[in-house]
Structure 1
Amino acid sequence: MLKTIRDWLITIFEAILLTILLILFVAQSFLVEGYSMEPTLHNGERVLVEKLSYRLRKPKRGEIVIIQNPLQKKEKYIKRIFNFNKIP
């Protein structure tokens, strides 16, 4: 009986750990709030964003990205890359 409970607790712990690692490094779900990305993405739509691509390469023009507001860390925006400005 104790072995079964222990096995269940280990399985639950492993599942929680795997979920945390997936969210931090692989993919995360985001809710679209607003109408600026229509007709591609609609207000209230949930999107799954993979996080590995931009660790391996720079984003390309036309791709949709999630960016973080540097002044308010909890605020994120979903935008399409239109142009890269050269920063001195």
Structure 2
Amino acid sequence: MGRMDGVKSYIKGLNLVEQTSYQPRKSRKYKSEIYEWVKALFFAVILALLIRAFVFVPFVVDGSSMVPTLEDTNRLIVNKLIYRINSPGPGDVIVFHATKEQDYIKRIIATAGQTVAVRGDKLYINGRIKDEPYLRASKEQAKADGFVLTEDFGPVRVPEGTVFVMGDNRRNSTDSRVIGPVRVDSIVGKAEVIVWPFHKFRMIH
């Protein structure tokens, strides 16, 4: 009996050692998993902040100056990186710092060195008629209603380091016809896509 009792005590001791050594290993594994998740979350947040700061930024349209292309409260994604690679070009829809407190969204009509004018609801760039496909329906509607979409102005030569912008809602837009050409270094970025309302999700042209 003594021998059996000794064997049982030995086995019990082994089980106790196994249990006490298993618990710390399990605890260390659990802590390691938590650390990995925290680290992954930290880097995800940093990446999101970097993307927001240097690549993309959300923007909410305020007002009707870009109707019919954009409507009030549309939510957009603005590409901040693109003009570090390419120059702003005619047709681009851009967001820029109009004042220290407010950003505007308008369409680039002409760039530095170009001459812009409107005669008889037709846009002239360097003396040549420039088609504006994004305004065809608006121009037809204006003509049917007995008025022009864009009042005559110009010619205006666009200074170096600036772009000439107008809203697509030409009869209700505070743009370069009022505030003058926009400095390129005040441009936040190019409006790329409408993300909300979701049923109007599309690229901006």
Alignment TM class, shorter chain as reference: 0.7 to 0.9
Distance 1:48 1:33 in 2: 14
Q: Which residue of 2 aligns with 1:80?
A: 107
Question: How many residues in Structure 1 have an aligned counterpart in Structure 2?
Answer: 86
Q: Which residue of 1 aligns with 2:57?
A: 28
Distance 1:42 1:19 in 2: 27
Question: What SS does the corresponding residue of 1:13 show, helix, strand or coil?
Answer: helix
- How far has the Cα of 1:52 moved from its partner? 2.0
Distance 2:103 2:92 in 1: 16
In structure 1, the gaps of 5 or more residues are: none
Distance 2:67 2:31 in 1: 54
* 1:82 counterpart letter in structure 2: I
* 2:109 counterpart letter in structure 1: F
- How far has the Cα of 1:67 moved from its partner? 0.2
In structure 2, the gaps of 5 or more residues are: 1-29, 112-157, 162-205
* 2:71 counterpart letter in structure 1: H
Q: Does residue 44 of the first structure (1) align with residue 73 of the second (2)?
A: yes
Q: Which structure dedicates a bigger proportion of its chain to helix?
A: 2
Q: Percent identity?
A: 34
- How far has the Cα of 1:66 moved from its partner? 0.8
Question: What SS does the corresponding residue of 1:83 show, helix, strand or coil?
Answer: strand
Distance 1:87 1:10 in 2: 48
* 1:61 counterpart letter in structure 2: P
Q: Which residue of 1 aligns with 2:36?
A: 7
1:52-71 map, 5 Å: 52-69=81-98, 71=99
Q: Which residue of 1 aligns with 2:46?
A: 17
Q: CA RMSD in A?
A: 1.6
* 1:8 counterpart letter in structure 2: W
Distance 1:87 1:31 in 2: 30
Distance 2:160 2:36 in 1: 54
TM-score, length-scaled by structure 2: 0.39
Displaced runs of 4+ in structure 1, greater than 2 A?
A: none
Q: Which structure dedicates a bigger proportion of its chain to strand?
A: 2
TM-score, length-scaled by structure 1: 0.86
Distance 1:78 1:58 in 2: 17
Question: What per-residue deviation string (whole Å, max 9, x for no partner) do you get for residues 43-88 of structure 1?
Answer: 011011112221012111111011013x41x421111012231149
